[in-house]
Structure 1
């Protein structure tokens, strides 16, 4: 019988860690696909978006009317998110840099907090300094957050009575929502969609919209 050596023990542990992360990623991927199928499945254009009332990082009121006139990229997250939100906002920033080179200043990137207890306008303002300079950050009371998440079919797990100084977990849907200049939903880009594909899909959406409406933003 072969002895269980330190080397084999290390290999066993590494294999276990590798399997853990593989199944974790697969679980996240499958959950995202189920979320998108459940949230976006409908005939014709899904009914995503609608009226909301929040506050910007400058402390000013911000509603769905402020989205009109530009191509909006809307992401729901929270400033204490350790990895997923920063990665998605970095992806948005990189995509915007590419898109603006071709189309100019016709885009509005929007970050909406799903952690209203901890994400004050000041907190969001500081957080967004690491990303694209044109980002608008939004927050609100719990009821307002719940309403905008419902309008965009976003799942979030923040407790309604969360203590800002407490230790609680926040889970949420991971999509970048593309809205056209008239405020209508166009597409949703999941975590596994690469930046190059986001840029390609947005370019296609802009071309189609211009052909259908005869307008340029």
Structure 2
């Protein structure tokens, strides 16, 4: 009985079809495995906790005429290209400001250098009448030589604070307290202010905030996840 020879051209076509099918299957399996095993980005809801609140949609900052601790003008570029932890306070603050800056210094020291180098901590003055650039520099560098300070016109500071939902206002002190305050160089008023730590993402947007009282260990624990999900 004679056998019918399969033309060589048809044989090559069959092999190409089989190889193509196998390649397609392998590609599908690879994509599935990558999707299954690759870590997924956390959502704002997943990142939000008792101490950290992540905004669903980041908000732009409202910047006016501001200067840093070196007397140099602050532009929008200051807040871009890195993460910023900003805290609104003042150099004559008796308790919450030094405590918060102390905790932020602890947080930075607990982070791996590669992450810490991507974060800038800045004190924004709520008392521009008394907080000169020189005073801010001396004050913030007492906690960490890499911390920054920002001051400026009252309305510009208020504009920035409003854009990140941080209130502040002057509070007159009583007569007896006033005498002691003047002796300490604090005039006759204090400044009440929100004590949350605001997180600005590398796009220069209001991204999240840490609730007060801020703990360095919580900042160090949660900021890496926030950075990784961005």
TM-score w.r.t. structure 2 length? Answer: 0.66
**Aligned residues: CA RMSD:** 2.3
Pair 1:174 & 2:195 matched? yes
CA contact (8 A) 2:124 2:149 kept: yes
Pair 1:184 & 2:205 matched? yes
Instruction: Give 1:101 deviation, angstroms.
Output: 2.8
The Cα offsets for residues 34-68 of structure 1, whole Å up to 9 and x where unpaired, read as xxxxxx898x2253633333111101001232111
Q: Which is greater in Rg?
A: 2
SS class of match (1:47): strand
Pair 1:87 & 2:108 matched? no
The Cα offsets for residues 101-145 of structure 1, whole Å up to 9 and x where unpaired, read as 352511111110000110011111111121121111000111212
Match of 2:216 among 172, 195, 213: 195
CA contact (8 A) 1:52 1:64 kept: no
Q: Which has the larger share of strand?
A: 2
Structure ranking higher on relative contact order (CA contacts 8 Å, 6+ apart): 2
Distance 1:48 1:93 in 2: 26
1:74 aligned partner: 86
CA contact (8 A) 2:115 2:224 kept: no
Match of 1:52 among 51, 61, 64: 64
CA contact (8 A) 2:164 2:206 kept: no
CA contact (8 A) 2:86 2:122 kept: yes
CA contact (8 A) 1:57 1:136 kept: yes
**Which stretch of structure 1 is more off in the superposition, 195-204 or 76-85?**
195-204
TM-score w.r.t. structure 1 length? Answer: 0.69
Aligned residues: 166
SS class of match (2:210): strand
Change (3 A) 1:46 1:106: closer
2:108 aligned partner: 96
5 Å-filtered alignment, 1:6-85, equals 44-45=56-57, 47=59, 49-85=61-97
Instruction: Give 1:100 deviation, angstroms.
Output: 4.3
Match of 1:140 among 107, 128, 152: 152
